[in-house]
Amino acid sequence: MIRLDERLAAAASFVRTDKRICDVGTDHALLPCCLCEQGAVSVIASDVNEKPLEAARANIEKYGFADRITLIRSDGLRDVPPCDDVIIAGMGGELIAQIIGGCTFVTPDTRFILQPMTKAELLRRYLYENGFEIAEEKGAAVSGKAYTVMLVRFTGEKQSISDDFAYFGKCTDPRYISKVNSQLKKLANGDPSLGALIRKEQP
């Protein structure tokens, strides 16, 4: 059985295995392989770089899913055919926003499962300003570092969001709250209004 870290396991928990799935920036393709173990039959594993694609190919062979996982070299979603569930994990928030901006097949049923390593606040602003909404967020921690994983869908309704929502989103995981609080403490030196967003933490 393939064991994913908590971050990728949280992403996997949002994926509908009976749909057309794409993992953008797949690297090792462990997530697509794990989704196949859970019953997925149509998965694209894409990456812009050849080296990660080689690692992905090796794992796909090792776990015996070459008949269900298609490897594609693509910059973002540029050369990816229409999919229902798109995972973009382990990249900066700006790059994730850029990749979503290049998506040509969005419908109200499309799901984006997003896990920014940085700039989650920028990604949340981008999403709402461009007609997406966050349905749910789950916290995860790997090697003591906290992350959020977002389940996102397209509504077409453009909205602006508060600073508080931009920074914390819908993630209530205490580990993530603590991480965002530390970020806000640093930013508060330059912008005191951000210091006011700092939340109470459990002792």
Ligand X SMILES: C[S@@+](CC[C@H](N)C(=O)[O-])C[C@H]1O[C@@H](n2cnc3c(N)ncnc32)[C@H](O)[C@@H]1O
Where along the sequence are the contacts to ligand X (CB under 6 A)? 8, 24-27, 47-49, 52, 75-76, 89-91
SS3 36: helix
- Considering the complex, what minimum distance in angstroms separates the CB of residue 114 from ligand X? 11
Would you say 140 or 177 has its CB closer to ligand X?
140
Would you say 32 or 197 has its CB closer to ligand X?
32
SS3 percent helix, strand, coil of the chain, rounded to 5, is 35, 25, 40
- Considering the complex, what minimum distance in angstroms separates the CB of residue 90 from ligand X? 3
How far, in whole angstroms, is CA 198 from its chain's centroid?
Answer: 24
Cα–Cα distance measured from residue 114 to residue 103, given in angstroms and rounded to the nearest whole number: 14
Cα–Cα distance measured from residue 166 to residue 160, given in angstroms and rounded to the nearest whole number: 10
Would you say 27 or 121 has its CB closer to ligand X?
27
Task: Tell me the two tokens of residue 71.
Answer: 């490897």
Would you say 29 or 171 has its CB closer to ligand X?
29
Q: How far lies 123's CA from each of 100, 116, 127, in Å?
A: 10, 8, 6
- Considering the complex, what minimum distance in angstroms separates the CB of residue 89 from ligand X? 4
Would you say 97 or 197 has its CB closer to ligand X?
97
- Considering the complex, what minimum distance in angstroms separates the CB of residue 7 from ligand X? 7
Cα–Cα distance measured from residue 101 to residue 116, given in angstroms and rounded to the nearest whole number: 15
- Considering the complex, what minimum distance in angstroms separates the CB of residue 192 from ligand X? 34
SS3 99: helix
